[in-house]
Amino acid sequence: MTADFLLNLAQAIVNGLLTGMVYGLMALGLSVIFGVMRIVNFAHGEMMVVGMYLAWMGFEYLQVSPLLSLPVIALLFFGAGYLLQRSLISPFIGRPEHQQFLLLLAVAILLVNASLAIAGPDSRGVQMESQFDSYEVGPLVFDAVRLHAALAAVAIALLLWLFFTRTRTGKSIRAAADNNLAALVVGLDVRRLYAFTFGIGAACVGAAGALMITIIPVSPFLAVEYTLLAFVIVIVGGLGSMTGALLGGLLIGVSEAVAGLLLQPSLKSMFSFGLLILVLLLRPQGLLGKGSQ
């Protein structure tokens, strides 16, 4: 029993880590946007669903693998995010939360129903041989698509980290996030930086969508679930912290997998929300968030 159980547990943890990495990438966009402009993107899951649809269309009509269309989708999302910020969201920065909430809710309703009107209600998936593949390492089984997606997620996170620490724009964005007023004083174009940030956040979600479609088929109304999941992850990891989002993703991935093994699997999301409540109360800045909120 114990050997069997330990093996199952190890397998659950492996699965949780792989799924969690993609979760983390998905939540990263939410965290980046909040960290810089203090706006919670309530249309986050909807944006990801659009990314999944784009990747599906690329596969279905142009026979391009989602992993190859990923950079294109990320670029498109960057542009769309940049424009969205400049046109709609920019006037709402610093406004009361309920107004920001309503604005993004309206965007979410538009995105999800436009997806429905254009792509139809059927669940759409890509067909790849790797979806049925797995690698065996000793007694453990590594799921092929999840492993590919997780590796891609790590690579994207690494690129982002390089961007924020090595480039001028990246450093300016971090400066603006730390202290808006000071950034203005030293002459940074905060408006442009904000738009840039929103673009980057959107690109992350788009990329996550392209990876997600290899794992799970897309249908318009899954969006709310993704938004909620992203909230849970970034709060647990620390809203506004990049490494926090990745860690939060891994933590939620592993804890859900283990909870699914030990309890009835349909209870595992309850476990995540319980974790969210605990973190909110005991450490609202999240596990890796900065000191004060």
Partner 1 sequence: MSFVRRLAGNAPPRILWSLAILLALLLVAPAVLGKYWLSVLILILYFAFVGQAWNIMMGFAGQLSLGHALYAGLGGYIAAGLYFHYGIGPWAGLFAGVAVAVLAGAIVGYLGFRFSLAGVYFALLTIAFAEFTRLAFDHWQWAGGSGGLFLKVEHATDIVNLRGGPVLFYYVILALAAGAFILCRALLRSRLGQYWLAIREDAEAAQAVGVPVLRCKMIAIVISAALTALAGVWNAFYYNNLFPETAFAMGRSIEITLAPIIGGLGTLFGPIVGAVVLTGLGEAFTDLGDVLRIPGIKQIFYGLALLVIVMYRPAGVWPWLANKLGLTERQS
Partner 2 sequence: MTSRKTFTRRYLGQTALAGATLIGAPLPLRYAAAQTTGNLKVALLLPTSGIQAQIGQACRRGADIANDVFTDMKLPVKLEIVNYDTESKPDVARTQAEKAIDAGCQMLVGAFDSGQTIAIAQVAEQRGVPLVVNIAAAPQITEQGYKFVVRNFPTAPMLITGALSLHKEIFKVSGKTPKTAVLMGVNDTFGTSMVNGIKALFPKLDMPYEIVDTITYDPAAKDLSVEVGRAKATKAELLIPVNRLNDAKLMIQEMVKQRWEPMGVMNPGAPGLYEQDFFKTMGKYSDFLISNVPWLDPKSAMTQSLEKRHAAKFPNDQLDINAGFTFEGLLVAAQAWITAKSTKADALMDALRKTKIDQHVIIGGPIQFDAKGQNVNIKAAAVENLKRKPTVVMPVESAAAPLVFPMPGWNDKRRT
Task: Give residues 185-214 in contact with partner 2 (rule: CB under 8 A).
Answer: none
Task: Give residues 98-117 in contact with partner 2 (rule: CB under 8 A).
Answer: 113, 116
Size of the site for partner 1 (CB under 8 A): 45
The binding track of 40-79 with respect to partner 1, each residue x by CB under 8 A or -, is x---------------------------------------
Rule CB under 8 A: say whether 27 interacts with partner 1: no
Rule CB under 8 A: say whether 155 interacts with partner 1: no
Per CB under 8 A, which region of 3-11, 150-158, 177-185, 197-205 contacts partner 2? 3-11
Reported as half-sphere exposure (CB side, CA atoms, 13 A), residue 239 has a value of 19
Which of partner 1, partner 2, none is residue 215 near (CB under 5 to 8 Å by kind)? partner 2
How near is the Cβ of 218 to partner 1 at its closest, in Å? 15
How near is the Cβ of 141 to partner 2 at its closest, in Å? 7
Rule CB under 8 A: say whether 219 interacts with partner 2: yes
**Binding residue for partner 1, selected from 79, 94, 265, 284, defined by CB under 8 A:** 284
| DSSP string of the chain, one letter each residue | -HHHHHHHHHHHHHHHHHHHHHHHHHHHHHHHHHHHH----TTHHHHHHHHHHHHHHHHHHH---HHHHHHHHHHHHHHHHHHHIIIIIGGGTTS-HHHHHHHHHHHHHHHHHHHHHHH-SS-B----GGGG-EEEETTEEEEHHHHHHHHHHHHHHHHHHHHHHHSHHHHHHHHHHH-HHHHHHTT--HHHHHHHHHHHHHHHHHHHHHHHHHHS-B-GGGHHHHHHHHHHHHHHH-TT-HHHHHHHHHHHHHHHHHHHHHS-GGGHHHHHHHHHHHHHHH-TT-SSS-S--
**Binding residue for partner 1, selected from 6, 102, 158, 186, defined by CB under 8 A:** 102
Q: Which of these, 15, 23, 20, 18, lies nearest to 227 by C-alpha position?
A: 23
**Binding residue for partner 2, selected from 10, 97, 99, 132, defined by CB under 8 A:** 132
Rule CB under 8 A: say whether 274 interacts with partner 2: no
Rule CB under 8 A: say whether 7 interacts with partner 1: no
Q: From CA 41, how far away is CA 210, in angstroms rounded?
A: 19
**Binding residue for partner 1, selected from 10, 117, 141, 184, defined by CB under 8 A:** 117
Task: Give residues 257-276 in contact with partner 1 (rule: CB under 8 A).
Answer: 264, 266-267, 269-270, 273-274, 276
Write out the residues near partner 2 by the rule CB under 8 A: 4, 8, 11-12, 15, 19, 113, 116, 120-125, 127, 131-134, 141, 143-144, 215-217, 219-222, 225, 257, 260-261, 264-266, 268-269
